[in-house]
Amino acid sequence: MELYEYSAHELSEMLADSKVSSEELTKSVLCRAKATDDKIGAYITICEENAIEKAREVDKKRGKEPLHPLAGIPIGIKDNISTKGILTTCASKMLYNYVPPFDAFVMKKINSADMVITGKLNMDEFAMGSSTENSYFKKTHNPHNLECVPGGSSGGSAAAVSAGSAVVSLGSDTGGSIRMPAAYCGVVGLKPTYGSVSRYGLVAFASSLDQIGPLARNVRDAAMLYSLICGYDSMDATSQQREYPNFAELLNGEVKGLKIGIPEEYYGEGVDNSVKETVLNAVKELEKQGAEIVNISLPSTKYALNAYYIISSAEASSNLARFDGVKYGYRTEEFTDLTDMYEKTRSEGFGDEVKRRIMLGTFVLSSGFFDAYYKKAKLVAFDICKEFNEAFQKCDVIATPATPATAFKLGENIGDPTKMYAADICTVTVNIAGLPAVSMPCGKVNGMPVGLQFIGQKFSEQTLLNTAYAIEQLNGEIKPAEL
């Protein structure tokens, strides 16, 4: 096996036992990235020199001082997470030349653990999309079928891990942007409880929904990375001050007595029968191990997609107002006055999908339409939260498909926004309610991965990871896709 094929927890032991150096490992991953990225397009920026230099520093430290278990492990970072001194574009022309003067909170955690940053990963522009076709720079392809999308908006993060061009990665999830690409690319993706991972330094899309989380090829690696990045941050007003366990050390895969809820709304019209069957078969395997299956209902789910796109677009229209060509990023070359500069800069700097959502968000917040749309969407959000709370009186976790179908072809839905948005139907409720959820590979349909989503109560990540680990014990850890 090549070094890039090993998991983070295996590599951690190999590094600790001096069976391999971080420099050797980093060069293996970078070589894989350079060999595959012409086909996949996972990276916007590859930090080859900095990565090798950092790996050498870690190798010099090893044996002289205590190191974090993830020290020396290569990691890819979604390009909407601020990295000091490294280009951070949000896959947009608007930030094509932006180099942040500060690190995001999660990057301080990554750097304190001496992880090796291989580069910044492609995404849908400003995290708006479900296919990573909305990037200004390139389209990302699914490693399992290069004619298919990797999902979005964290498509580069999932594709890099799936292909072996990153051992683990960070993504962000506003309505499924970690879990959908994880499902499409056949990797593990965790959307943590809102407030458990600081959003400081994450370029905002929808502030009440955004959450940073890990992607990995197995549950233990995802748990290790989540244990590193979670925690309180005074720079984030929504950050929760509480104690977090070492999630990786507590993994046991024990599901005896666990009550798994099956919501009828997630298995009805619009969900591919083969995906439904694959997911339910995986859940039945847990039932054989002692889990109890409970039928539940979440009736407001049918309104969730509409509510999500109203709320997220409204917040986006506010958050993206800061990109105006004045302080940083793109500025139009020809303009007559300040207003003309604003208009031309934003017209030229933003892509079609971003403009679409800004216009939608501005509309639903405008006088005369606020009560008719935004206020009603927030009432739906309240109902969704209430229904989840009632459901968790009957079960410990909820099992659903992560996506209604397997990955679709590149270009198939790009001209039909409503069809593209429908791909988020299984994931958006989690963000609206601020809950944790994990997408776990559970099989394939026509050669393409299927993701099983487990949803839990707030701060129940350990239960979710244990449940996903039970599935992994049955199916085995994922190896990089063959290209």
d(CA 53, CA 146): 32
Interior CA angle at 198 toward 192 and 200, to 5°? 140
Choice among 54, 78, 109, 120 that is catalytic: 78
Of 12, 28, 177, 312, the catalytic one is 177
Q: Yes or no: say if 31 and 96 are a contact pair by the CB < 8 Å rule.
A: no
18 catalytically annotated = no
Residue 153 annotated among the catalytic residues of the structure: yes
Catalytic option among 28, 82, 153, 172: 153
Catalytic-residue membership of 317: no
Residues that are catalytic: 78, 153, 177
